[in-house]
Amino acid sequence: MCLDLEFLRELCLCPAPSGFEGRVQAVLRRRLAGVAETHADPLGNLWAETGPEAGPRVLAVAHADQIGMIVTYVDEAGYLRVDAVGWLDQQLLPGHTVLVHAASGPVRGVVGRPPTHIVPEAERGKAAPIKEQFVDIGAHDRAEALARVAVGDSVTFDQGFSEIAPGRFASLALDDRAGVYSVVRGLELYTKTGGKARLTTASSAHEETTYMGAKALARRLRPDCVLIVDGTFSSDYPGVDAVRLSGDVKLGGGPVLGLGTTTNRKLTSLALAVAADQGIAVQTKAYAGLLLTDAEELAAAGEAASLALSIPMRYVHSAAEVADATDIEATAKLIAALAHRLGEVFEPGMFTP
């Protein structure tokens, strides 16, 4: 199974910060038409199901949203003030181009910054808090700016999708569009080969801000097992310490199975066995506390065993994250294979400690 490059590219280039997930979900509706019936809720979640109704219920979920900003104010000179949507580093913004996603289409702007030459020496190399930064869209005044954009419009990095080496991609929003790609491809593969489990693929909303999408999915779908697919930090580039990250994680080394306080050890052991049987390379990583993904909310529902299945990435939450095609496709294969195995062996209570 080779990477569907155009599908991944389309997902990554959909502008969809938390609360604005509709564009991504529209892509998935088109993709899944004829494969599985899709369902949605007012929060912005989308999901699709395949397999026998009577089988164990397996949910593979990845979040649709990305980090970004929202326009909060337009001043008299026509500059936009913004606030972060999700965990966005203020140092990434000054001097960068961004896209404001207005009703009439995207508007390009620049996050302004004074030249280094005129910045007081004590302030050089520092970035103001995001609320104190501004976006210049070239407007002469407030009226002209408001004719093009509106308070409440979303803002994302003005960044493309590039193959920087064979099978390695740099793009905004790989966290977690690579995960969305994998759960959809996993469903497609599972549908083609059949199985006894009821596999549901979900593209969740609001993960980067409130985890509300996961909370709603846990209550609505009531799965027996949950596979939470997200990006995770790789440790294979300068300045990153594998010891501090609690795992030596490399691009191209395969999906990462989380060993921690949230995930179910028995389900994780089963996933490791399935990966070995199928010849799927995997990595492991220890988590001493929160995973900071949808995992906590889905596990806290108390009815499903949870598995953290992550795709290694470099430069997470930056304008250009980097991931490897083999890890993305291997994640999809493992989802399908694990769903098959669960359909064969699942019994109520088998994942209870």
What pLDDT score does 293 carry?
Answer: 79
Instruction: Give yes or no for residue 136 having a pLDDT over 80.
Output: yes
CA dist., res. 331 & res. 298, Å (int): 19
Instruction: Give yes or no for residue 119 having a pLDDT over 70.
Output: no
The structure's pTM equals 0.94
Work out the number of other CB atoms within 10 angstroms of the CB of residue 104.
Answer: 9
Can you point out the beta strands (E) in the chain?
38-40, 46-50, 57-63, 68-74, 80-85, 97-102, 105-111, 134-136, 154-157, 161-165, 168-171, 198-204, 225-233, 256-260, 283-287, 305-313, 321-324
pLDDT, tens digit (0-9, with 9 covering 90-100), for 217-273: 988 888 999 999 999 999 989 988 888 877 889 999 999 999 988 889 999 999 999
Position with higher pLDDT, 146 vs 349 = 146
Classified by CATH at the fold level, domain 5-66+172-345 comes out as Aminopeptidase (3.40.630)
Residue spans per domain, the chain = 5-66+172-345, 68-157
Average pLDDT estimate for 103-121: 82
Classified by CATH at the fold level, domain 68-157 comes out as Elongation Factor Tu (Ef-tu); domain 3 (2.40.30)
The pLDDT-based confidence of 115 (bands split at 50, 70, 90) is low
Position with higher pLDDT, 323 vs 296 = 323
CA dist., res. 292 & res. 307, Å (int): 14
Name which of 155, 6, 23, 13 is nearest 80 in CA terms.
155
The per-residue DSSP string of 200-234 comes to EEEEES-TTTT-HHHHHHHHHH--SEEEEEEEEE-
Instruction: Give yes or no for residue 114 having a pLDDT over 80.
Output: no
Average pLDDT estimate for 50-69: 94
- Number of residues that make up the chain: 353
Cis peptide bond upstream of 277, omega within 30: no
Q: How far apart are the first and last CA of the chain?
A: 36
Q: Which amino acid is at 303?
A: E
Work out the number of other CB atoms within 10 angstroms of the CB of residue 334.
Answer: 27
The per-residue DSSP string of 55-117 comes to S-EEEEEEE--B-EEEEEEE-TTSPEEEEEESS--GGG-TT-EEEEEETTEEEEEEE----GG
pLDDT, tens digit (0-9, with 9 covering 90-100), for 278-290: 999 999 998 877 7
